[in-house]
Chains A and B, each alone.
Chain A
Amino acid sequence: DVKVTQSSRYLVKRTGEKVFLECVQDMDHENMFWYRQDPGLGLRLIYFSYDVKMKEKGDIPEGYSVSREKKERFSLILESASTNQTSMYLCASSYGLAGRWSTDTQYFGPGTRLTVL
């Protein structure tokens, strides 16, 4: 079975703090994704990566950055957390082909519920 893990289930941070959310997958997947999920809005793509050290902006990248130094790990960084970044953050991965487009199933982690005070 595919396993996607996220470093924290719940996180509380203060406005202005730098926040790191970590995601690890154990299936040697090429593609990894970060989403945020808010009531009534569904999942919105923040950033994704289809290869190590590669990243692409999703629909709502503002206020976020990402890092993918190793294939199995994809980090989401909030440079200066704000209250409007309070949300559920979901990481996903899919098989893919390195550096190429694919339409593979995405498998999700359990999510990190971030609260910014």
Chain B
Amino acid sequence: GESVGLHLPTLSVQEGDNSIINCAYSNSASDYFIWYKQESGKGPQFIIDIRSNMDKRQGQRVTVLLNKTVKHLSLQIAATQPGDSAVYFCAENKGTGNQFYFGTGTSLTVIP
């Protein structure tokens, strides 16, 4: 079946550096993508989303890039802070109603 995957399961960055978390998807019909942050023991928290008619979307310290040609999604976090340490995962709309495929996540560790 179609699935969402991540290139790296773990990522460590120095505080203040920029972080890039990647996500590959395989369903070319997907038209909506979401990045979530999940801290230990908590539910996923919405970070940013992007629809397929866009290539880039920016939020506060975060940017999502969508490359539909290679079916690739990335989350960039600027000036990474210790509070950014969490698991980040992407969600891909299945294209059949309000259902999503979810990736397994990348664990980001920020080194002070």
Measured CB to CB, the closest approach of chain B to A29, in angstroms, equals: 10
B interface, CB within 8 angstroms of A? 4, 31-32, 34, 36, 41-46, 49, 89, 91, 93, 96-100, 102-105
Cα distance A65–B34 when bound, in Å? 27
Q: B98 near A103 (CB under 8 angstroms)? A: yes
- Least CB separation from A50: chain B residue: B98
Most interface-central of B42, B45, B102 (chain A CB within 10 A): B102
Chain B CB within 8 A of A58 CB: yes
With A45-B99, A96-B98 known as contacts, the answer to whether A103 contacts B104 (CB < 8 A) is: no
**Number of residues in A with C-beta < 8 Å to the partner?**
25
Which of the segments A14-22, A68-76, A78-86, A104-112 contacts the partner chain? A104-112
A101 touches B45 (CB 8 A): no
Number of A-B contacts (CB under 8 A): 54
Taking a contact as CB atoms under 8 Å apart, the answer to whether A48 and B99 are in contact is: yes
Within 8 A of B (CB), among A44-64: 45, 48, 50, 58
Contact with B along A32-46 (1 / 0, CB 8 A): 000100001111010
- A23: min CB distance to chain B, Å: 11
Q: Are B98 and A31 in contact (CB under 8 A)?
A: yes
Beta-carbon contact of B98 and A107 below 8 Å? no
Q: Please tell me if A8 contacts chain B, counting CB pairs below 8 Å.
A: no
Tell yes or no: A25 within 8 A of B by CB: no
On whether the beta carbons of A102 and B97 are closer than 8 Å, the reply is yes
